[in-house]
Structure 1
């Protein structure tokens, strides 16, 4: 309950540490790595999942970090499915690499954080956000003395896990963040742009050219022409000239067939019939919550009312019109059948403003708490100031300094203590009551209620449509039979054809993948793929609502792509280059655009707005080579040589080069902007270079 969750003074440090851990996310994880100068939690473990420049990465430490990040995402409301888990693993792995390579750089440069600097981080003008939130006083100012006192007290508690967490995790994370800031600052300050460069860029970007040209499209040469055939040797030669562009990670590919184990029409009918048989009993059940539990409903009972405008369910109009105690269904709602029972109706506000004073029954005995809240009630009814009493006596830190006031929307009903929620939503404006909840005694006043509309309390008996045992057995049996008869590539293909099964392909499956495109989550299948040889056929794997039998078809080793692998990416480029040679020969030694147009059966075209600063030519497309040639003054006196463009071979003649107004751009402003942009990207570019230079060994696939 948001009103009362932070009331326990004795647990204030627990709240402080939880906030700290959440807000410092990726920094906190640093503390669990057995890196240089700081041992991990299980530093003696010899089980490693890889290394960075010889620094081993321990499996237990890595998994602990992964779990921490998963917990943080879940606290923020993200669903922790297999896709998210794979993303988290990659995120943590990349962070481990970064930390190791950066630590080496820190050591080389002598970057450290002194105790005095750490004091400044904690208590200076820009403290960590979590500390600022925890120790901001009533005037909205960071209370340095309160923070110092609290941290000093925490440091004294040597056996307190929170104290250990603070010293072993939180403080090192802050220091690591400061070292990274220093490193990025050092790199950023190495960039310099001379004024002449900024002036030249302004001048170049204002240039405008007009030109005449002939464009001979590549599609004027047939793809089947012998002279434009692309061989493996052509592709290999192209790759060797552009190796950086064709680097690949280790990966594998499979062909697979699947056997559906999705619920059949009979399965769906069985679920529906089961609910139909429970309709009468559901309608007469005196305790709907117990009935739903007893009959394994997928939807738990919500003992509250839902506003008409918020009731977003199938058949909502029919359900709203039901009398109390009546039922409707079964009806389909997504992948489930549902029977709805109307429990009750009433008018409710969409929003409520209230105020309260809490006396905790956890920091006081029940009798003391009751006596105190009664005294507070008597004082207020006698004319005492509510806000003053709240500030003095309320044990709800979330509202005591705001006069005890809160605003709640109707959607928050279920997150509040039931007794509290019923007073503010079911009562009327002006109500003043003492109620007891699991947190203690509250004196509550309802200040305002807005936007009343009908609301409904409904119980939903829900059953998912799932495959029956028979359906599962049929699919499993068919998959096992196919796998048993298809123990090699030839038999796999023949049986797939004979049984009219569709063969599907999954490519570029990496050793650490959890998800397979088109199949879903199946780490077990990926493990089999990692160990298989080309032509091997798997046993059936149960993935979601199907059974899959896979055959390994390809192994791609880390390094440079093979010609076969690269062909889909580069074949058209190489073919276009060959077509350009054919077209250039057709153009020959012609010395006028008109002659070239006649020889190639094209037209002489014109463009009067070619901008140096733009990669596009109006009505032509993205042709940077042509744009560059248009600003070559040599092409003003004669036509250009043939230019191999993206879509055609071009021959141009520049008619004129002029300048547009530069809009009064100041060279010094431009220069500063260029340096600022370089400095902002310095950290990322440096990290990218360090990663590429690092000796990273990734053995996660052998363990995870």
Structure 2
């Protein structure tokens, strides 16, 4: 009965509470951010990074990561490579934010006093996990029960959960409250005056009519010498906009893959292996031992699965098997499986029961048996079950609830076998004494719901794996290619010669564990971090393939190079040069008709240009032209040439008028805008604090 034991020994409320607070921390972090161990042998330093001179030690970082991973695992999250990277990023970001925010807390005098912490734990609005665990039968939070449980936990100095409570749970509560205070201070500093809303509303209700000539950039060929874009042009452009063109350290590779995935022969061999075991499986009387002895990938589940919950391939065929019959081998994903029907019986989908536990861990077996028999006799004689449970049961998870529990059939395997069989296989109203590894239970089955046929099935499963021959063939081909491709030129030549498929992975960060197209591949990233441009790797085994890579690019932190920026900015700079040529061609012309005639264009008109929309009908998005349409100077004469998104425009404003405001409530609009600013305030402040912080990230040296 492991669930009861977890409640008993592991303080589940604390485990889930820490997870909840961690998630809350990340949510609060979002309000601000919007949006192993090689280094130990590479030098004496164990500093994994610094923020404004504050060091984070490798051991401390790993301790935080391990604790976070355990919390996620206890909550049922799979701890794969991607999840591990996410956890490491979360811990690293928390470290950065702790440091930059602590400085702000100090400047502002923000703190959480012991009295305030008590109010957080035991006041009117306790953490959700405490509220759930310590709410009484009347639905009221029992602060005294929570105090008693926490006081008891704090006495257990050698209990890891006590350490977790003091070092993780409470600091998380304090940090969450400090973030709330800081966000509140920022949010309440925003103010929009009434006159500003009135001005914005008046501007947004303006509409202009105008005549214009647009000279598209396409009238000048991209190949014209005057509009050629040099590297120096790009460098000049990005140097004026360094914030827009910052880059993190990253590296890029070209690579080829040699598959070591199972072949058709490997697949056939796996199937035949199960075929050879079919008769032995049929004859076996101990399915659990047989599966263990034959290394089944699916362990034996000694329980019945309801018809509606039997979600496996060929489920209908398996359900129709006679007891003792075997079906298969059949494919299930990347495995072949034999299914043996062990038995069928009707079972409920959910059960409500109650029990009284006398522990054999706190009492001798004979004392526990004598006490449970006395309790059973008292109840049969008319004593109140709930009262006796409250007084004598040694299961703290249920004693204050009259000993009651509700379980679904899916929890069968999490309970002690004897306990589970009693409540699921028994009948409503049945009462009996049962012994489990926890002690003696007096159990009553109160209710069973949704009874249907259940099936106990043993699955002998074998994954389809590559043979030694398949592995050796792939490994040999990769080694031969790598050995003959020790330079960039040889790498490219051999790809062409062997007609291999060259793949690209760009902008891989030093701390990444995933390479696009390859999945979890930290070993390859480590090689990339140490290699020089032009280096070719030895074969690297990643899942069911061998990879040989060529490092093609290594980008340092700072402003991106002209070559890398060219795809982003070349057309912008080219259009700037075209705009200058068009301006010169327009010259001193002072009428739209003259400009149109000189450039083989026509004079166009737009009668519904809105100040609050950058769109010109039949032209497109042109915010600069829209701005010029509401410039009073352009009503008396034609405008200066305006370099827009699609070309150069010259306009003449015919009229500007005001549209009705459609009954807009300016006070409500003002409040909505202030709320939006408050919501963005945390993000913008955190972004500014992170930008101003001096952060050094050396994690890549350790992982």
Q: TM-score range by the shorter chain?
A: 0.7 to 0.9
CA change 1:215–1:77 in 2 (3 A) is farther
350-359 vs 568-577, greater mean Cα deviation: 350-359
Q: Using the TM superposition, give the Cα deviation of residue 340 of structure 1 relative to its aligned residue in structure 2, in angstroms.
A: 1.3
Distance 1:85 1:330 in 2: 36
Task: Say if 1:255 and 1:503, in contact at 8 Å, map to a contact too.
Answer: yes
Partner SS state of residue 24, structure 1: helix
Aligned to 1:679: 678
Task: Say if 1:307 and 1:455, in contact at 8 Å, map to a contact too.
Answer: yes
Distance 1:597 1:140 in 2: 83
Distance 1:110 1:502 in 2: 61
**Counterparts of residues 207-226 of structure 1 (less than 5 Å):** 207-209=206-208, 218-219=217-218, 221-226=220-225
Aligned to 1:296: 295
CA change 1:338–1:6 in 2 (3 A) is closer
Aligned to 1:515: 514
Q: Using the TM superposition, give the Cα deviation of residue 586 of structure 1 relative to its aligned residue in structure 2, in angstroms.
A: 6.5
Aligned to 1:200: 199
Aligned to 1:502: 501
CA change 1:458–1:645 in 2 (3 A) is farther
Q: Using the TM superposition, give the Cα deviation of residue 116 of structure 1 relative to its aligned residue in structure 2, in angstroms.
A: 3.9
Distance 1:135 1:683 in 2: 33
Distance 1:508 1:563 in 2: 16
Aligned to 2:533: 534
2:15 to 14, 18, 40: 18
For the pair 1:591 / 2:591, whether they are aligned, the reply is yes
Q: Using the TM superposition, give the Cα deviation of residue 376 of structure 1 relative to its aligned residue in structure 2, in angstroms.
A: 4.2
Aligned to 1:625: 624
Aligned to 1:242: 241
Distance 2:493 2:398 in 1: 73
Aligned to 2:33: none
Q: Using the TM superposition, give the Cα deviation of residue 346 of structure 1 relative to its aligned residue in structure 2, in angstroms.
A: 2.9
CA change 1:116–1:220 in 2 (3 A) is same
Distance 1:3 1:532 in 2: 51
Partner SS state of residue 245, structure 1: helix
Aligned to 2:67: 68
678-687 vs 388-397, greater mean Cα deviation: 388-397
Distance 1:315 1:671 in 2: 62
Task: Say if 1:594 and 1:604, in contact at 8 Å, map to a contact too.
Answer: no
Q: Deviations over 1:595-630 (max 9, x none)?
A: 73994456836463x544445556655443344334
Q: Using the TM superposition, give the Cα deviation of residue 544 of structure 1 relative to its aligned residue in structure 2, in angstroms.
A: 1.2
Q: Using the TM superposition, give the Cα deviation of residue 271 of structure 1 relative to its aligned residue in structure 2, in angstroms.
A: 0.8
Q: Deviations over 1:539-590 (max 9, x none)?
A: 1111111111111111111110111011111223223334444555676737
CA change 1:17–1:307 in 2 (3 A) is closer
For the pair 1:440 / 2:461, whether they are aligned, the reply is no
Task: Say if 1:214 and 1:597, in contact at 8 Å, map to a contact too.
Answer: no
Aligned to 2:78: 79
Aligned to 1:563: 562
Q: Using the TM superposition, give the Cα deviation of residue 299 of structure 1 relative to its aligned residue in structure 2, in angstroms.
A: 0.8
Partner SS state of residue 5, structure 2: coil
Q: Deviations over 1:133-164 (max 9, x none)?
A: 45444444444444445555655666666555
Distance 1:115 1:308 in 2: 55
Q: Using the TM superposition, give the Cα deviation of residue 431 of structure 1 relative to its aligned residue in structure 2, in angstroms.
A: 3.5
Distance 1:212 1:437 in 2: 90
Task: Say if 2:590 and 2:638, in contact at 8 Å, map to a contact too.
Answer: no
Distance 2:149 2:402 in 1: 26
Q: Deviations over 1:308-342 (max 9, x none)?
A: 22222222222222222221211111111111112
Distance 2:654 2:306 in 1: 72
Distance 1:520 1:272 in 2: 28
Distance 1:346 1:152 in 2: 47
Aligned to 1:427: 426
CA change 1:291–1:602 in 2 (3 A) is farther
Distance 2:607 2:457 in 1: 70
Distance 1:145 1:448 in 2: 32
Task: Say if 1:3 and 1:396, in contact at 8 Å, map to a contact too.
Answer: no
Q: Using the TM superposition, give the Cα deviation of residue 248 of structure 1 relative to its aligned residue in structure 2, in angstroms.
A: 0.4
Distance 2:12 2:633 in 1: 73
Aligned to 1:190: 189
CA change 1:467–1:618 in 2 (3 A) is farther
258-267 vs 634-643, greater mean Cα deviation: 634-643
Normalised to the residue count of structure 1, the TM-score between the two structures is 0.87
Partner SS state of residue 345, structure 2: strand
**Counterparts of residues 444-459 of structure 1 (less than 5 Å):** 444-459=443-458
Distance 2:147 2:400 in 1: 22
Task: Say if 1:7 and 1:395, in contact at 8 Å, map to a contact too.
Answer: no
Aligned to 1:415: 414
Aligned to 1:690: 689
Partner SS state of residue 5, structure 1: helix
CA change 1:650–1:422 in 2 (3 A) is farther
Task: Say if 1:587 and 1:600, in contact at 8 Å, map to a contact too.
Answer: no
Provide the aligned C-alpha RMSD in A.
3.3
Task: Say if 1:537 and 1:549, in contact at 8 Å, map to a contact too.
Answer: yes
Distance 1:142 1:504 in 2: 59
Q: Using the TM superposition, give the Cα deviation of residue 263 of structure 1 relative to its aligned residue in structure 2, in angstroms.
A: 0.9
Normalised to the residue count of structure 2, the TM-score between the two structures is 0.87
Partner SS state of residue 259, structure 1: strand
Aligned to 1:32: none
Partner SS state of residue 681, structure 1: helix
Task: Say if 2:214 and 2:601, in contact at 8 Å, map to a contact too.
Answer: no
Q: Using the TM superposition, give the Cα deviation of residue 172 of structure 1 relative to its aligned residue in structure 2, in angstroms.
A: 4.0
CA change 1:255–1:183 in 2 (3 A) is same
Q: Using the TM superposition, give the Cα deviation of residue 131 of structure 1 relative to its aligned residue in structure 2, in angstroms.
A: 4.2
Q: Deviations over 1:266-286 (max 9, x none)?
A: 111111111111111111111
Gaps of 5+ in 1: 30-41
Aligned to 2:35: none
Partner SS state of residue 281, structure 1: helix
CA change 1:415–1:116 in 2 (3 A) is closer
Aligned to 2:29: none
CA change 1:425–1:120 in 2 (3 A) is closer
Distance 1:452 1:584 in 2: 84
Q: Using the TM superposition, give the Cα deviation of residue 412 of structure 1 relative to its aligned residue in structure 2, in angstroms.
A: 2.6
Q: Deviations over 1:51-81 (max 9, x none)?
A: 1222222111111111111112222222211
CA change 1:6–1:300 in 2 (3 A) is closer
Distance 1:420 1:7 in 2: 16
206-215 vs 362-371, greater mean Cα deviation: 206-215
630-639 vs 467-476, greater mean Cα deviation: 630-639
CA change 1:237–1:417 in 2 (3 A) is same
Aligned to 2:365: 366
Task: Say if 1:387 and 1:402, in contact at 8 Å, map to a contact too.
Answer: yes
Partner SS state of residue 4, structure 1: helix
Q: Using the TM superposition, give the Cα deviation of residue 473 of structure 1 relative to its aligned residue in structure 2, in angstroms.
A: 1.0
**Counterparts of residues 92-131 of structure 1 (less than 5 Å):** 92-131=91-130
CA change 1:111–1:309 in 2 (3 A) is closer
CA change 1:411–1:611 in 2 (3 A) is farther
CA change 1:335–1:165 in 2 (3 A) is closer
Distance 1:224 1:149 in 2: 81
Partner SS state of residue 486, structure 1: coil
Task: Say if 2:624 and 2:642, in contact at 8 Å, map to a contact too.
Answer: yes
Q: Deviations over 1:11-51 (max 9, x none)?
A: 47x5565344333337999xxxxxxxxxxxx9xx9521221
Task: Say if 1:53 and 1:694, in contact at 8 Å, map to a contact too.
Answer: yes
554-563 vs 15-24, greater mean Cα deviation: 15-24
Task: Say if 2:215 and 2:599, in contact at 8 Å, map to a contact too.
Answer: no
